[in-house]
Amino acid sequence: MHFRSYIRSMIPHDAAILYAVLAISTKHRELMTGLKGIEEADEYERKCLEVLIPSLNDTDRALQDAALASALLLRLFEEMSVPIEQQTMSSHAVSAPILMQIKQGNIRSSGFSDAAMIVALRQEIFIANMTKQPVQPIIGYCSIDETLQPASDAMWAYRMIAHAARVTTFVHSTGGHDAEEWAKLWEYLRDWDRCKPDSFIPMYQSSTTRSPEPSTGEASSFPRIYYTYDCPAAAQQYLQICRILLMGCIPPTCTLYSDEEAECPGSREDKIREAVRIICGISISNPEYVPARLTAGLAVALCGQHFTCPSETKELLRIVSEAELHLGWPCLKVSLTLRDIWGLHEFTLDKMAE
């Protein structure tokens, strides 16, 4: 069962989930419209905690899935609260270690609890890359089979999400980048891509075109890559995120990538740009998959400075601005910086839609 479907079905039956959803909705309204609702949102958060904390402290009864769901929602609420300092972006009352304690404690293991931890893992990947920190070690609590043996499509997607977490940790860890470890991470990408199921092949894929983009009516610089559902779309986006991160920190002594460069010539920066185009193309082609839009925003935030062509930068600025508008997280607030870099000072989403 999808996390979103479960939350929707539980709102009428679980007070903690109800208050958590109300807190997020109020905070999102405040961020998107400017209507002040800080006290109201904080009150909903307080009521949620009043319901949630006693159940977490009761070690005699097994927790229901709703407890983990409520904790994850509160964590999202905290991400939407503007931090005083950059360093506080990765500091939460409902932190990743607390989620791990809930998962390993007296909660009944279920498909939902595993899926909920995947949601937390995706949040961690996003935040870690924006704050340039390692990912909290929660992969082991997601029940992911990290081999490349036959599995469900969801598991194949989870494998690549988990790999993106490992790559993020490798890239942002202190102490330098070990060439042997880099090679293992890169090799897993190639092996996963070779072994992935046929259902992960796009329904249709075009090269980069200048055909009109539906939401703006303007020509597009990005490929059209259509998928029939969300698992392969997410997996391909995270694969490209891994490529971007690894190509950005190739150890001088690593020979594996040198061999690949000989097979596929082209500058490293060109390949990073192409990975961003693929991620954005997936988002544009599959607008019904909202997480794809947010992953595209992350890619633009990480690599926007590598683009200079005006036809591309306008689209990229729209993509990251829409992601910021939807997400409401303070750690994804790069549109103003990119606007200055690209000289698009008159840009607004309204103008892009005209």
Judge whether 140 and 214 are in contact, CB under 8 Å: no
Cβ atoms within 10 Å of 346's Cβ, excluding its own: 7
Please report the pLDDT score of residue 5 as a whole number: 78
- Could you tell me which residue, 336 or 171, shows the higher pLDDT? 171
- Could you tell me which residue, 47 or 328, shows the higher pLDDT? 47
Cβ atoms within 10 Å of 107's Cβ, excluding its own: 18
Of 169, 64, 182, the residue nearest 127 (C-alpha): 169
Judge whether 309 and 221 are in contact, CB under 8 Å: yes
pLDDT, one tens digit per residue, over 156-199 is: 999 999 999 999 999 999 877 899 999 999 999 999 999 999 99
Place of tokens 């097994």: 62
Q: Tell me the C-alpha distance between 342 and 319, whole Å.
A: 14
Percent of the chain topping pLDDT 90: 47
With a cut of 60, say whether residue 89 has pLDDT above it.
no
Q: List 71's β-bridge partners, or say none.
A: none
Quick one: which H or E segment has residue 100? Answer: helix 96-104
- Could you tell me which residue, 245 or 335, shows the higher pLDDT? 245
Q: Tell me the C-alpha distance between 339 and 345, whole Å.
A: 6
Place of tokens 């931890």: 117
pLDDT, one tens digit per residue, over 98-132 is: 666 666 655 566 677 788 889 889 989 998 999 89
Of 76, 66, 49, 74, the residue nearest 12 (C-alpha): 66
Dihedrals phi, psi of 212, to nearest 5 degrees:
-60, 140
Average pLDDT, the chain: 83
Q: List 204's β-bridge partners, or say none.
A: 226
Q: What is the mean pLDDT of residues 7-29?
A: 89
Residue 139, exposed/middle/buried by CB under 10 A (0-12, 13-18, 19+)? buried
Residue 44: which pLDDT band, with cuts at 50, 70 and 90?
A: very high
With a cut of 60, say whether residue 86 has pLDDT above it.
no
With a cut of 60, say whether residue 223 has pLDDT above it.
yes
Highest-pLDDT range among 56-60, 209-213, 281-285, 341-345 = 281-285
pLDDT, one tens digit per residue, over 252-289 is: 777 766 556 545 656 889 999 999 999 999 999 999 99
Q: Structure pTM?
A: 0.85
Distance of CA 48 to CAs 18, 52, 127, Å? 8, 6, 24
Please report the pLDDT score of residue 85 as a whole number: 46
Residue 69: which pLDDT band, with cuts at 50, 70 and 90?
A: confident
Q: Tell me the C-alpha distance between 24 and 62, whole Å.
A: 27
Dihedrals phi, psi of 63, to nearest 5 degrees:
-75, 150
